[in-house]
């Protein structure tokens, strides 16, 4: 019987308490919920022997607290830094949820449904439960364990990014453990050897001082709805490649070894369509699905808002339009450089008679790749091979955990990203869920890797 099954009732009680905090860190109205959640985590960690602080970044009062915990180990034992985030995405659209988004529901299929069930409360809490088991049973050298849990990962990690350089000495570690990624198809274990960076921002176009009658002003007044469409269309060439001059200048293609390892873990186009309901035909043509998702940068439109969208019609020329845009960046791309190139492009392509504003720039995180020959990777592959006889594969994740690059630089630690997410978890979407089998596997991984690192 697994340790999860032995402790199932008490673990689920704690897990559900954690999930009930509506910790949407990007919403100021949820600040108290974030504080309450951080206090709950502090109380949970204290009995495990951790000294726990709730910290604020310099000059950033009013942001969700950053939890820093440390449990001193034996002299000469390794130092392990664990990172996770307790904030979650907004639950919208609420009417698409089959169960209340902040009331955890365990269904007969063995999955817990709730916002944050997987991302990242389920993943980091299962790891902490495995850590607790390790600390109870381990008899050899005990490592020093440091924990950082933040409340802004889903909105750019601005507070932790500002705080980390000021507490470098406290963050120093040998290994950085992150459980906020996915396993390969069929729950085969995966070690993430690279992440793309991310930046996101808002583009706003303004023209007339108020919405105009489309009959009286059509053909005369500039139309921001049409303008935002033209502006967005200018970002890509007909073959899907990025049209922004200078944007891809620093992109370094994968090595043959990286490409071979990535393709070995890839989902097929047929599997992708089965999972998402859409064929993988987006992005730059002439490249494989894996190359487009793992080794190439992107510019994506996340939303467009302008004019009238209600029932029936309203014949207006809107006064303004906005687009929400995000960029995924690959290693060697400098976030400031590519943002400057993109801003130049947008200003050069702003339609006549309209004013362009670029606002709400967040993220600014670089991507990274790690060497496959890393000793930490070899150790992790050995541990994962004991857990699953199929062994581990390597992935270069198309998603981003913006602050990992910052923590890597400030701590000096070797990152080790192993998670157990699956497409059916629907993270960031309505009806997010996490399987108890995934929770159990994450617990086992945390316990075993800590044992291996200690010895």
Quick one: pLDDT at residue 264?
85
DSSP string computed for 232-288 = HHTTB-TTS-B-STTTTTT--PPPHHHHHHHHHTPPPHHHHHHHHSS-S--SSTTS-
Percentages helix, strand, coil for the chain, rounded to the nearest 5?
40, 25, 40
Token pair of 105 as six digits: 């529901």
Name residues of the chain where pLDDT drops below 50.
Answer: none
- Cis previous bond, 93, omega within 30: yes
Q: pTM value? A: 0.85
328 and 297 Cβ atoms separated by less than 8 Å: yes
**Which pLDDT score, from 0 to 100, does residue 111 have?**
98
Pairing of strands 66-71, 144-150: antiparallel
Determine the Cα–Cα distance for residues 264 and 89; give it in Å rounded to an integer.
31
Distance CA 397, CA 21 (A): 28
What per-residue confidence (pLDDT) applies to 368? 85
Please tell me the predicted confidence (pLDDT) of residue 90: 96
Q: In the prediction, which pLDDT does 217 show? A: 97
Q: What are the structure tokens assigned to 124, written together?
A: 């980091």
> For residue 1, what pLDDT is reported?
80
Q: What is the distance of C-alpha 125 from the center of its chain? A: 16
Task: Give the chain's domains with CATH numbers.
Answer: 3-196+367-454 (3.40.630.10), 198-259+293-365 (3.30.70.360)
CB half-sphere exposure, 281, CA atoms < 13 A: 4
The pairing of strands 144-150 and 79-85 is: parallel
Name the residue among 194, 55, 81, 99 with its Cα closest to residue 146. Answer: 81
In this predicted structure, what is the pLDDT of residue 431? 98
- pLDDT value for 86: 98
Q: How high is the pLDDT of residue 185?
A: 86
- Largest Cα separation within the chain, whole Å, is 82
pLDDT of res. 375: 93
Output the six-digit token pair for 430: 């309505």
pLDDT confidence of residue 369: 87
Q: Pseudo-torsion of CA 117, 120, 122, 126, nearest 10°?
A: 180
């Amino acid at each position: 019987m697994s340790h999860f099954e032995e402790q199932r009732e008490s673990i689920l009680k704690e897990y559900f308490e954690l999930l009930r905090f509506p910790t949407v860190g990007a919403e100021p109205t949820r600040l108290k919920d974030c504080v309450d959640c951080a206090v709950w985590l502090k109380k949970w960690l204290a009995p495990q022997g951790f000294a726990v602080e709730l910290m604020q970044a310099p000059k950033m009062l009013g942001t969700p607290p950053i939890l820093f915990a440390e449990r001193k180990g034996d002299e000469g034992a390794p130092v392990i830094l664990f990172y996770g985030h307790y904030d979650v995405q907004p639950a919208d659209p609420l009417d698409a949820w089959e169960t209340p988004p902040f009331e955890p529901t365990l269904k007969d299929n063995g999955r817990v449904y709730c916002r944050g069930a997987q991302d990242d409360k389920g993943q980091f809490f299962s790891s902490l439960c495995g850590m607790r088991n390790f600390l109870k049973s381990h008899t050899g050298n005990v490592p020093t364990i440091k924990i950082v849990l933040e409340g802004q990962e889903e909105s750019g990690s601005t507070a932790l990014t500002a705080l980390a350089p000021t507490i470098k000495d406290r963050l120093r570690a040998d290994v950085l453990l992150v459980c906020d990624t996915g396993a390969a198809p069929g729950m085969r274990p995966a070690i993430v050897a690279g992440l793309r960076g991310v930046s996101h921002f808002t583009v706003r176009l303004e023209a007339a001082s108020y919405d105009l009658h489309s009959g009286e002003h059509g053909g005369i007044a500039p139309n921001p709805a049409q303008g935002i469409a033209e502006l967005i269309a200018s970002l890509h060439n007909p073959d899907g490649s990025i049209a922004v001059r200078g944007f891809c200048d620093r992109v370094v293609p994968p090595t043959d070894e990286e490409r071979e390892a990535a393709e070995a873990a890839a989902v097929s186009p047929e599997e992708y369509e089965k999972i998402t309901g859409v064929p993988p035909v987006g992005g730059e043509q002439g490249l494989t699905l894996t190359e487009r998702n793992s080794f190439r940068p992107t510019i994506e439109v996340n939303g467009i808002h302008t004019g009238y969208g209600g029932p029936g019609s309203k014949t207006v020329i809107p006064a303004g339009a906005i687009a929400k845009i995000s960029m995924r960046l690959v290693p060697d791309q400098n976030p400031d450089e590519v943002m400057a190139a993109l801003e130049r492009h947008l200003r050069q392509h702003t339609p006549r008679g309209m004013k362009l504003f670029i606002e709400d720039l967040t993220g600014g995180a670089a991507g990274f790749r790690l060497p496959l020959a890393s000793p930490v990777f070899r150790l992790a592959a050995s541990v994962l091979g004991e857990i699953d006889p199929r062994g581990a594969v390597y992935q270069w994740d198309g998603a981003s955990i913006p602050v990992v690059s910052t923590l890597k630089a400030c701590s000096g630690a070797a990152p080790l990203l192993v998670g157990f997410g699956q497409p059916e978890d629907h993270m960031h979407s309505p009806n997010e869920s996490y399987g108890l089998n995934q929770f159990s596997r994450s617990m086992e991984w945390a316990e075993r890797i800590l044992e291996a690192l200690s010895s």
